[in-house]
Amino acid sequence: MPSGKLDDYVVVGMIGSGSFGQCKKIRRICDGKVLVWKEINYKEMTESEKQQLVTEVNLLRELKHTHIVQYYDRIIDRSQSMLYIITEYCPGGDLATLISQHRHQRKLLPECFIWQVMHQILLALEECHRSKENVGGKVMHRDIKPANVFLDGEGQVKLGDFGLARILHNTSLAKTFVGTPYYMSPEQYSCNSYDHRSDLWSIGCLLYELCALKPPFVASSQYKLAEYVCNGRFSRIPSKYSDDLHWTISQLLHVKPEKRPLLSQLLSLLEEKIPLAKPPNVAGTEKTTPPSVLGAVKEEESLQRKLDELHRKEEILRKKEEDLQRKEIELKRREEVLVLREKQQAILK
């Protein structure tokens, strides 16, 4: 594993902070490449937390995929008990920010965008769920949510933040209560054993939120939230979206994990829905570039602007027609007055 020095980079700005530490935008001095590093102070960590940190670094190093945030390096500053994890920079931000912007604007995202996000995040998950010899099993993310899904400069989806990821050895099941409450599966809330199918539930929650601009299950307390999640009842996504999309999300949000579709089934469905969005760089085939999910949003926004402009022109034309009709009525009224006057004058003569 390459291991550079802190002096190889210059901090450009702050991106965010959390319980782990801070996330900063940096520039690599040798070539000017913009990257990100996550600063983690491990001084007060327990041994299990340190082990989880080592696991995250190892996973990031092994997971190489178009739709997974690319790992570059890690730097350890033992004098300050600091670890710096260096990854690619995603200038498109995260889906949580995108959802917040659209909620503020009261504007729904285009359906083609939702399908493409679904396809690309499932491709990333497929890579995670493949058995990894170097890490000893399948990788379960365990914290898929809008804030952990990013968009690069070309609008491609990138799954990131593997801080809670866990390796499932062969057919083993996880039992630890972890994750973000709004996106946790019924089996996690019920303290039952769970596996990679819990990631599918989280994706269902994420996709629902992309459509409705709010999570499928919302409550005033975690107890009530757990009750709603375990009941599995939620409102239909907005009527703008197709029955196909609602049905697909509903399958991901099935309370019983064994009833949720297989990744392979979902990907087959999506290849029919999005024929251009096939995995690139398949050996022996021509390389293809998956469509940009931001491109879909921009295309719809461009179309909406054109429609708005057309409606504006139609409104102007309608007002002109109304003005013309008023003038015609006024002209006709004047003509009638003139005719009446002429008749009156003729009588007087």
What is the per-residue DSSP string for 221-264? SHHHHHHHHHHT--PPPPTTS-HHHHHHHHHHT-SSGGGSPPHH
Rounded to whole angstroms, the Cα distance separating 49 from 42 reads 8
Whether residue 94 lies in the annotated active site = no
Rounded to whole angstroms, the Cα distance separating 120 from 285 reads 19
161 is in an annotated binding site: yes
58 is in an annotated binding site: no
Question: What is the phi/psi pair of residue 87, to 5°?
Answer: -135, 175
- Spot the catalytic one: 94, 143, 152, 199: 143
Beta strand pairing call for 138-140 and 166-168? antiparallel
Rounded to whole angstroms, the Cα distance separating 22 from 25 reads 10
Beta strand pairing call for 21-28 and 71-77? unpaired
Rounded to whole angstroms, the Cα distance separating 263 from 33 reads 35
| Joined tokens for residue 250 | 């509903």
What is the per-residue DSSP string for 263-325? HHHHHHHHHHH-TT-PPS--TTS---PPPPHHHHHHHHHHHHHHHHHHHHHHHHHHHHHHHHH
What are the residue numbers of the active site? 143
* Binding site feature residues for Mg(2+): 148, 161
* Binding site feature residues: 148, 161
